[in-house]
Chains A and B, each alone.
Chain A
Amino acid sequence: MQRIKTMETRDLKKSVIVGGCGECQTSCQSACKTSCGVANQPCENTQK
């Protein structure tokens, strides 16, 4: 596409099927302790 560059991202719709294992880090546990961000945590599902 000439005017649109689409970044490589995880398809969240598809993750409905393969996600939800719960092995990833708890949102607040790493550094912030005073806010909630989830996008910076890597997926730890080894079965996806």
Chain B
Amino acid sequence: MIHQYKNNGYNIVLDTASGSIHAVDEVAYDIISMYESKTTEEIVTTILDKYQDQPDVTKEEILVCLEDIAYLKENGKLFTEDDYEDLANKYKFNSNVIKAMCLHVAHTCNLNCSYCFAAQGKYHESNVSCALMSFDVGKQAFDFLVANSGTRVNLEVDFFGGEPLMDWKVVKELVAYARTLEPIHNKKFRFTLTTNGVLIDDDVIEFANKEMHNVVLSLDGRKEVHDHLRKTISGGGSYDLIVPKFKKFVEARNGQGYYMRGTFTHNNVDFTKDIFHMADLGFTELSMEPVVCDPADPYALTEEDMPKLFEQYEILAKEMIRRKKAGNGFTFYHYTIDLSNGPCVYKRITGCGSGTEYMAVTPWGELFPCHQFVGDNAYSLGNIWDGVKNTAAQEEFRSCNAYARKECKECWARLYCSGGCAANAYHATGNINGIYEYGCELFKKRIECAIMMKVADET
């Protein structure tokens, strides 16, 4: 399978199964589009007719281009057959390793953001006002992770919430405990802290900059956009409270190992203005995600928003190219793509790993497939003392991969998304093997833009 598209003046051809990417001129673009369905004679006639005003487009030229295409095909760079499906099933069903954990240290929050998928930290437990993880529960979670991690060396733990800084003392104690496990078990922990910033102080900055591989700082962009949905408990905006703290935090990290992470909604479909605002504040590692919510919510993205969002992603890519050339570039999480040292095919076909190699742990030690399933009793997998007991649910997640859905098998982007987010599929269709079409469309647009930027870099 190939995928052809035009973006920012570039003609791009992707070969799905090999991962090859070709930047081509108009003539080659048209020839490739006909290569598998037309005869040589038909292609020559069509091209000569279409480009009759261009003297350099001769029959000989077209035949040379056809030879080049044949060479690329013979060498596995065009029209490559995808025979990975069996591999996806075997690889995942042969592994019981857990390598990453989202540790919900605090099911409570000091902000009251309207769109929070975690329901202001309470998840589905509306009758639970506050739950903090104890050191003993956290310690057991680390022991559980190490015991189930097999020979994997790199283990990841995200301190998540709610707001994890509301249980900061325990976070620090758990990091110290985890460090003692590393030499004993030949493990290397990489910690992430995801925070709204309200409780950032010098102690947080110093400790996090020493111990956290990555920090994710929640900021939606422009003050009026951020304050509209990210409110304090008393109903005021939180922008002025957190931006100075974020600046100090990032500066102390030397601008490394962090993401400013925003959410855009129907209220700010022009979300590139929010990204540029963050860049203008001096932040360079940026992420902006479409809101995940009930379609009935007033801020939910609509079908009418989709073409506008596509345009926004193109604006973003062009502006990033411009700023890079001007010497004030920034990175956007979804446009960061590693073509030569990117993931192997196993990573690309086996899904996100939720429920199998990745799990979320609640403050009381209950296991869920990922943070987005927390509180959904149907997907309670077990707990950190007894392990996974709901094997039926886990097997459902084990079957998630890049080939689990008919639509994915026919999609050019399957090796970039690995079948997509199970939680999004579940919330959109009621089935983790459903298709969240809206998310798919946005994802494909982002990948097209990301690859275009690579092409622009090298041509």
Contact = CB atoms under 8 A, between A and B. Distances in A.
Interface of A: 1-13, 15-16, 18-20, 22-45, 48
Contact of B358 (A26, A37, A48): A26
Interface stretch (B177-185, B232-240, B302-310, B418-426): B418-426
Interface in B29-83: 61, 64-65, 68-69, 72, 76-77, 80
A15 to B, nearest CB: 4
B347 to A, nearest CB: 6
B177 to A, nearest CB: 20
Contacts of A15: 344-346
B209 interface: no
22 contacts: A2-B65, A5-B22, A10-B19, A11-B20, A12-B18, A12-B345, A16-B344, A16-B345, A16-B346, A18-B344, A22-B99, A32-B287, A33-B194, A33-B261, A34-B117, A34-B424, A36-B417, A37-B417, A38-B343, A40-B336, A43-B341, A48-B344
Interface string B149-184: 000111010100000000000000000000000000
Contacts of A39: 337-338, 342-343, 348, 415-416, 447, 450
A40 B370 contact: no
B333 interface: yes
Given A3-B24, A3-B27, 18 more contacts: A4-B23, A5-B458, A9-B20, A27-B353, A28-B352, A30-B216, A30-B259, A33-B261, A35-B439, A36-B417, A37-B416, A37-B443, A37-B446, A37-B447, A38-B343, A38-B347, A40-B334, A43-B342
Contact of A35 (B351, B421, B458): B421
Contacts of A25: 100, 154, 156, 190
Interface residues of B, number: 87
B340 to A, nearest CB: 5
A6 B27 CA distance: 16
B230 interface: no
A43 B333 contact: no
A36 B440 CA distance: 10
Contacts of A20: 91, 344, 346
Given A20-B91, A37-B334, A38-B416, A5 B23 contact: yes
B22 A31 contact: no
Contacts of A38: 343, 347-348, 352, 415-418
A36 B23 CA distance: 26
B160 to A, nearest CB: 8
B118 to A, nearest CB: 10
Given A4-B72, A26-B352, A31-B259, A41 B346 contact: no
A7 B21 contact: yes
B273 interface: no
Contact of A29 (B100, B347, B419): B100
B435 to A, nearest CB: 13
B28 interface: yes
B268 interface: no
B289 A35 contact: yes
A28 B370 contact: yes
B52 to A, nearest CB: 18
Contacts of B372: 33-34
Interface in B413-457: 415-421, 423-424, 439, 443, 446-447, 450, 454-455
Contacts of A29: 100, 102, 156, 158, 192, 358
Contacts of B287: 31-32
Given A20-B344, A36-B417, A40-B338, A13 B76 contact: yes
Nearest to A18: B344
Given A7-B455, A30-B333, A36-B417, A42 B338 contact: yes
A28 B358 contact: yes
B147 interface: no
Contacts of A10: 19, 339-342, 344
A24 B216 contact: no
Given A26-B357, A30-B214, A35 B424 contact: yes
Given A3-B25, A11-B18, A33-B194, A27 B418 contact: yes
B216 A31 contact: yes
A9 B340 contact: yes
Nearest to B331: A40
B252 interface: no
Nearest to A19: B344
Interface-central residue, A13, A18, A24, by most chain B CB under 10 Å: A13
